[in-house]
Amino acid sequence: MAAVPTPSTYSAITLTVNGEQYALPVDHRTTLLDALREHLDLTGTKKGCDQGQCGACTVLLDGRRTVSCLQLAVAAEGRAITTIEGLADGDQLHPVQQAFLDLDGYQCGYCTPGQICSALGVIEEHAAGWPSAATADVRPEAGPPPLTPEEIRERMSGNLCRCGAYVSIVQAVAQAAQAQGQEQGQTQARTDKVKEAAA
């Protein structure tokens, strides 16, 4: 006979995943990875090492990348969780997904969801001016460093690809970052035009 869960080890939580809310009872020791895969059937996030060393389980938590195998599900309550399933807009791939597809930034595909979520985090961190270990000038007034292949490799170093598709992954991240920068520039130009017209 299975033991009945006691209230002291289980909680009813609500997770916000890809914009949708899900209420579920979880053992306090349940990782976010297991909650996503086993309770919500969102299997795009992969279980690799289950020790936070490979990056296959990377998701975005309030827009910042995190390895979901080390994050407890109860600690993610009230935070916005984005998985690989939440990136595309219907049939329209997210620009990072499209860059990985265009440049063959994958082989077997097992690590790809974590690589893509991590790439989104890298692009945002870089745009915000966060330095990496490869950044030569870390002074705030220096602004964001150029997103060179060395910068990308350092920033993506927490994500392993057992197939060795690293060259294409770096190219995909660079292409997606450039596309995002151009899109932001166009949006800013439109905003500036509206301000000028109103003045």
What's the pLDDT tens digit per position in 119-177? 999 999 999 999 999 999 998 888 888 999 999 999 999 999 999 999 999 999 999 99
What is the spatial distance between Cα 114 and Cα 56, in angstroms, rounded to a whole number? 5
For residues 42-71, average pLDDT: 97
What is the spatial distance between Cα 113 and Cα 24, in angstroms, rounded to a whole number? 24
**pLDDT attached to residue 185:** 55
Q: What is the pLDDT of residues 93-109, one digit of tens each?
A: 999 999 999 999 999 99
**pLDDT attached to residue 198:** 56
Does 89-199 carry CATH code 1.10.150.120?
yes
List the domain boundaries for the chain.
1-86, 89-199
Q: What is the DSSP string of 85-138?
A: GGTSBTTB--HHHHHHHHTT--SS-SSHHHHHHHHHHHHHHHHTT---TT-S--
What is the spatial distance between Cα 156 and Cα 96, in angstroms, rounded to a whole number? 14
Q: Residue 191: is its pLDDT beyond 60?
A: no
10-17 vs 80-82, strand pairing mode? parallel
- pLDDT-derived band at 182, boundaries 50, 70, 90: low
Answer for the pair 173, 123: CB distance below 8 angstroms, yes or no: yes
- pLDDT-derived band at 180, boundaries 50, 70, 90: confident
CATH of 1-86, one of 1.10.357.10, 3.10.20.30, 3.40.1350.10, 1.20.120.80: 3.10.20.30
Q: Residue 65: is its pLDDT beyond 50?
A: yes
What is the spatial distance between Cα 97 and Cα 113, in angstroms, rounded to a whole number? 9
- pLDDT-derived band at 47, boundaries 50, 70, 90: very high
**pLDDT attached to residue 196:** 61
What is the spatial distance between Cα 69 and Cα 34, in angstroms, rounded to a whole number? 8
Locate tokens 């800013």: which residue?
188
Q: Residue 78: is its pLDDT beyond 90?
A: yes
